[in-house]
Amino acid sequence: MPRTSHGGPHLANPPTVIVMVGLPARGKTYISRKLTRYLNWIGIPTKVFNVGEYRREAVKHYSTYDFFKSDNEDAVKIRQQCALAALRDVKTYLTEEEGQVAVFDATNTTRERRDMILEFGAVNGFKIFFIESVCDDPNVIACNILEVKVSSPDYQDCNKTDAMEDFKKRIECYRMNYQPLDPDQYDKNLSFIKVIDVGRRFLVNRIQDHIQSRIVYYLMNIHVQPRSIYLCRHGESQHNLQGRLGGDSGLSTRGRKFAGALAKFVEEQNLKDLKVWTSQMRRSIQTAEALNVPYEQWKALNEIDGGVCEEMTYEEMRERFPDEFALRDQDKYYYRYPSGESYQDLVQRVEPVIMGLERQENVLVVCHQAVMRCLLAYFLDKSADEMPYLKCPLHTVLKLTPVAYGCKVESITLNVEAVNTHRDRPERGPSTLIRRNSVTPLTSPEPSKNNHVPTGCNKCLYVRGVTFPSHA
């Protein structure tokens, strides 16, 4: 029998509950959603549980900030019940739905609330990692309220001025009982990061595993300054004209024409301090050189490695390697070309590019179809299943502008004809092929983990010695 702690399971790789901490309008939900998008993109199943949504479901019509006063006993009970309902769903996600990380998005401003969550984690065998967002800049707070809060369902029938005033009073209700994480005494043994003034400074305490270290690294790279990211493929290449995979051919006549059109487009955008990044392949370098601006080459931006299938057409691949062709159609994300790469490999390769993009302001990335799909999937929160079929046509620029909880996309066609290299998702046949005896075996999804539940606890949530039915 495995050793247990407080009746909870003792797992070699237990799930993680990320607990947000901080006053309202400090960017907790922004961090929650952005971090969840990143973790899902790198293959760690993650889901946000926003307690505010549970509260809005329980209380259909919001009245005023009085609901958040600490002496409003009825409201305090409702808010506590909403938090417990969210924790029940966290437990279900991590023990029954193969989740690996759950983000508990709420203020969690008191030690009593955080101690309850710690006990919940101990009982169920979950690691707890706190992210506290601290900000005292009135301009940042006002901007957050105006951009996000006044347009929330709480204020759908309220003008902006009244909504701003009510929300500021709501913040004061929380401030009266706010107990920040204390790295020197009370909370010195907890794992957490404090994000101070939207990333101006950080305080990191007792990082304990790989997931926590990746979270910290990610949070230390993101910023909220206005900017745009431009993604495009190289101009049409000779291999594109021939329908060949990969290779390192140069631009076609139309590809060179696109490079000139791209230079004109960039000039018209009149972007200050625009960074230009390319791969190390001829077709992307030739495209960037036409811009007549400095550019940086990234090997990580090179096209997916087709291995033994490099420079073949799809027809040649189907004839010479029919099983490989079928395997790729069966699961394009996890399929790895013999002696080559899969989309899963590519995500790992371009992760440093994502970190670089998160640090920068305006950037133009000249890359390749599979690479652009990986980057686009990150910014648009697309699944691994969707990623290999995202449309990234030649001679088209995608302008990505990060907004509050997502990314605005504009598609700009530069009116230079090019071949269509997109291949739609094939219809799935009845049979399933399994790769055997390959030198570079097909990468498989992580095996389903066994659900370890404490004896007698499979239908209950335990918090502070009180049992709550999991279906309540």
pLDDT in tens, 214-261: 999 999 999 888 899 999 999 999 999 999 999 999 999 999 999 999
What is the predicted pLDDT for the residue at 432?
60
What is the predicted pLDDT for the residue at 406?
86
How is domain 16-224 classified at the architecture level of CATH? 3-Layer(aba) Sandwich (3.40)
15 Cα distance to chain centroid = 18
Among 176-190, 288-302, 396-410, 454-468, which is the least confidently predicted range?
454-468
What is the predicted pLDDT for the residue at 440?
42
Shortest CA distance to 127 belongs to which of 280, 48, 14?
A: 14
**Verdict on whether the full-model pTM lies above 0.85:** yes
What is the predicted pLDDT for the residue at 451?
37
User: Where do the structural domains in the chain lie, given as residue ranges?
Assistant: 16-224, 229-413
- Confidence band, pLDDT 50/70/90 cuts, at residue 443: very low
> Which structure tokens are listed for 28?
């907790």
The CATH class that applies to domain 229-413 reads: alpha beta
Give pLDDT tens digits for 311-321. Answer: 999 999 999 99
Cβ atoms of residues 235 and 288 within 8 Å: no
Give pLDDT tens digits for 92-102. Answer: 999 999 999 99
Q: Kindly list the distances between the CA atom of residue 165 and the CA atoms of 33, 145, 146, in Å, as whole numbers in the listed order.
A: 26, 10, 11
What is the predicted pLDDT for the residue at 34?
97
User: Which three-class secondary structure state does DSSP give residue 222?
Assistant: coil
User: Which three-class secondary structure state does DSSP give residue 299?
Assistant: helix
Give pLDDT tens digits for 63-78. Answer: 899 999 999 999 999 9
Shortest CA distance to 379 belongs to which of 400, 363, 397, 393?
A: 400
Please report, in range form, the residues annotated as the binding site for substrate. Answer: 233-240, 283
How far is 427 from 430, CA to CA, in rounded Å?
Answer: 10
Shortest CA distance to 379 belongs to which of 345, 356, 402, 346?
A: 402
Catalytic residues: 234, 303
How far is 99 from 273, CA to CA, in rounded Å?
Answer: 41
186's CB contacts (< 8 A; 6+ apart) are 111
Give pLDDT tens digits for 23-56. Answer: 999 999 999 999 999 999 999 999 999 999 999 9
Residue 472 has pLDDT above 70, yes or no: no
Residue 151 has pLDDT above 80, yes or no: yes
- 450 or 208, greater pLDDT: 208
Same topology between domain 16-224 and domain 229-413: yes
